[in-house]
């Protein structure tokens, strides 16, 4: 009787051990899954925060470029007006010089010299103004390009974010269907 009892105990021992192992394995597997899900959600939230910061950065970049553009366009307009004024002054000085030279009066020689100096100064001022206007025009063009580049980068970022969102949703659906299939398989 003792030998039968010992023999039966030895035969049943693997069943008890495997039953205990399965419970431990299930618990460990479930714990690992929970930890993986926790890390996945943390990763997703950090990715979303990064994308939001990136979008805000792009928005700020666009706003900054647009404000610089508006300021530079205003400056360009002032320079255009100044150049027009200098051109008009130069034209009137040249007309005065022409009338003085037409008089052929020797007494007006000093006035002619003064007028010539004045014209030279006016030409220098006009040339400086034109140079500034050209550089301002270049700045305006560069700023327009910056605004367009920043807007296209923002659009690309938004498209990329949308694609990632779709991919996450599809992955989530796949996982759900796999879980449902596993549940059905385990029930059968």
Render 35-101 in DSSP notation, one character per residue.
HHHHHHHHHHHHHHHHHHHHHHHHHHHHHHHHHHHHHHHHHHHHHHHHHHHHHHHHHHHHHHHHHHH
Distances (CA, A) of 26 to 79, 103, 113, 184, 187: 78, 114, 105, 17, 16
Neighbours of 65 (CB within 10 A): 20
- Residue 79 to residue 85: CA distance in whole angstroms: 10
Closest CA to 130 of 169, 94, 86, 173: 86
Task: Quote the CA–CA distance of 77 and 43 in Å, as a whole number.
Answer: 51
Q: Which residue ranges make up each domain of the chain?
A: 70-155
pLDDT for the residue numbered 111: 81
C-alpha span between 127 and 119 (Å, rounded): 12
pTM, two decimals, is: 0.61
**pLDDT tens by residue, 9-27:** 777 767 665 555 566 777 8
Residue 17, pLDDT score? 59
Q: What is the pLDDT of residues 81-95, one digit of tens each?
A: 999 999 999 899 888
Q: Does the structure show a pLDDT above 90 at 99?
A: no
- For residue 77, pLDDT over 80 is answered with yes
Instruction: Give the model's pLDDT for residue 21.
Output: 56
Q: Which helix (H) or strand (E) element contains residue 105?
A: none
Model confidence at 71: pLDDT above 90? yes
Supply the pLDDT for residue 172. Answer: 85
Residue 131 has pLDDT above 60, yes or no: yes
Tell me the angle at which helices 109-187 and 2-103 cross, rounded to the nearest 10 degrees.
Answer: 160
| Average pLDDT along the chain | 85
Query: Looking at residue 20, what is its pLDDT?
Result: 56
What is the distance between the terminal CA atoms of the chain, rounded to a whole angstrom?
40
Q: With bands split at pLDDT 50, 70 and 90, how would you rate the model's confidence at 139?
A: very high
Tens digit of each residue's pLDDT (9 = 90 or more) over 156-186: 888 988 898 898 889 889 888 988 888 888 7
């Amino acid at each position: 009787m003792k030998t039968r009892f010992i023999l039966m105990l030895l035969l049943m021992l693997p069943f008890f051990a495997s039953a205990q192992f399965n419970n431990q394995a299930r618990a460990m597997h479930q714990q690992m899954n929970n930890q993986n899900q926790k890390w996945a959600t943390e990763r997703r939230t950090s990715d979303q925060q990064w994308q939001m910061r990136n979008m805000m950065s792009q928005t700020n970049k666009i706003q900054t470029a647009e404000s610089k553009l508006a300021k530079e366009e205003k400056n360009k307009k002032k320079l255009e007006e100044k150049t027009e004024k200098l051109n008009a002054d130069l034209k009137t000085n040249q007309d005065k010089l022409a009338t003085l030279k037409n008089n052929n009066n020797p007494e007006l020689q000093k006035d002619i010299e003064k007028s010539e100096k004045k014209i030279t100064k006016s030409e220098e001022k006009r040339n400086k103004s034109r140079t500034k206007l050209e550089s301002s025009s270049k700045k305006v063009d560069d700023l327009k390009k910056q605004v367009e580049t920043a807007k296209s980068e923002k659009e690309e970022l938004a498209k990329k974010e949308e694609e990632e969102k779709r991919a996450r949703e599809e992955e989530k659906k796949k996982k759900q269907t796999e879980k449902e299939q596993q549940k059905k398989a385990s029930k059968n």
